[in-house]
Structure 1
Amino acid sequence: MFSKTFLTLALIFTVVTVTSVLAAEDARLAEVRQRIQNDLNGDYSVANLRPVVQKKVASMLSQASEDIKVLMNFKEGDEEFFGVQPSLNVTEIVQKLTVSIEEELKGFQRDMPTIKEELERKYAFFKIGDKVSIETKSKGLVTGRLVSISNNHITVGTKFISIVDMPEEVQARVYKDKHVVFIKDMLEKECQKDALAYASKTDDLLKERLPRELLKAGYLPYPFGNVFNFKQGKIENWGSREQVLQFCIAEERNGYAKSMMDKDGYTFVQGRGWITKEEYKILQKKYEEKAEREEMRKRQELQRQMTGQDFNQLDEQQRQGYVR
């Protein structure tokens, strides 16, 4: 009875202790967050950071080439620069640029009649007496004068070549029904190839020229760290000057909050939120142990597949040799 009571009291004490520790930890985290939030509402507020970040971004832009500065009409000390609204929306810019590129690429893509004419020339019918070279399936290369044509074979020099021994393109140059089907298939393939090449060329030119048009219209690329990529070809990575400035302010605020949390001993883990560095070490160890178990499972499975022998049945020396 005494043992049972003692065990119950011990469990209660443990639960209370753990609960108290967790409550204290939650209270500490709440206190740290509140302190940081006070800073974000004060010295690190959007209003207070705006002139500081604006000056910082302007300094970054001043490092651009003269060509880029001219495109975005950037002048150092221009207080109105970030207040300028884009002259066109992104859709309008893309549409205008696409029309210009399509005009430039006229003739790049062959039309269907042109392709068909080229194919008819390339795969024109053989005539009796023509000198031909045919890579047959069984005899290899056969070269000579075309002597005769029948329904199921041709004669080149002294050699008979069966229709089943001819490549498709040779059959198409000998038999009318094969020719019609072959040209139709090749026409479809060539048209598709041209269309893909045209689309790829259009896309390449659009990505190459879009950044300059966006800069001229009053847009900026979102910076990566402290670097602007003025050749950024993805539209979603661009914004108005005001949007980019707001993004940089948010980055500054987030960076400050993260550094303060780190200073107070917290680490952010995706899916778990902010945890103490001690908790992070424990969590990291668990992940490593899980990874080791998974690696061992893969080794065991591979061993079974290769030899039919269970990895666990090997002695230590055999295991080390197997792993190496």
Structure 2
Amino acid sequence: MTSIALLKGEGMVPRIARGMLGSPKATLAFIVCLVLILAAVFAPMIAPQNPYDLNEIDFFDAKLPPMSEGYNGMTYILGTDGQGRDMFSAMLYGLRTSLAVGVTAGVLAMVVGTAMGLLAAYRGGAIDSVIMRFVDLMLGFPTILVALMILVVFGQGVDKVILALVFVQWAYFARAVRATALVESGKEYAEAARCLGIPAWRIMFAHILPNCLPPLIVIGTIQVASAIAAEATLSFLGIGLPITQPSLGLLISNGYQVMLAGLYWMSVYPGLLLLVLVFSVNIVGDRLREILNPRLAQ
């Protein structure tokens, strides 16, 4: 079954839904992702306190273990950190930031990579060679190393982290879109559109681009998980988000400094949340790859 049949015949959304329900592991991973996304979106309403509002933090409640009662009478389910912030609240706000950075970077990288891939397939010749040689160069270096060098030059900040992740991820989308566009442009419907005198740009965006969506969805899902992990790594190293921004990577970094003192909850709980998030998104991405690729499904 071709991609165009998925989009116009059977329908991509029903096919994905049935495919997800057909795998208990993928269904569980999808539910976990949905719960975490909802928890991040509604974090201000779910969290017992705003961990980054100084008026709600009591320094006397610092370093309390899980299920401890603070001086204000509040029970800290997951304990507190060195500044007296509720770990459960801090993790919800950190999850919100990590998801926002990962999704934004993934979407922007998809847009840039799709545009560059279509340009390479449409123009061909020297432009195709230059774009693909740059793509090969980008894919030849470790993602985290390139992002690290960019942030060393431009400094910390949410916007800078997103731009660094977009810069290192767009090449994955460009290569996939170019390969799919070159295959689709040689098929009968593309030849028929050319014979009808339809402009090349319209053929590329209205006819060929929809057939590039299945691999884009799969790559986008996996790259979102990669962006979340990369942001956490950069923040853990102290060059990602500033210390005033909530992030799972920063929480892990802050807790790691006092782990040898027995204060395990400050680092272990955010680390487990990050692991569950990335693991679940990757499982959903793998299942999407099987659903949208009939050969793998067989």
TM-score (norm 2): 0.25
Larger Rg: 1
Task: Name the one with the larger helix percent.
Answer: 2
Q: Which has more strand, going by share of residues?
A: 1
Q: Highest relative contact order (Cα 8 Å, sep 6+), 1 or 2? A: 2
After TM superposition, the score normalised by the length of structure 1 is 0.23
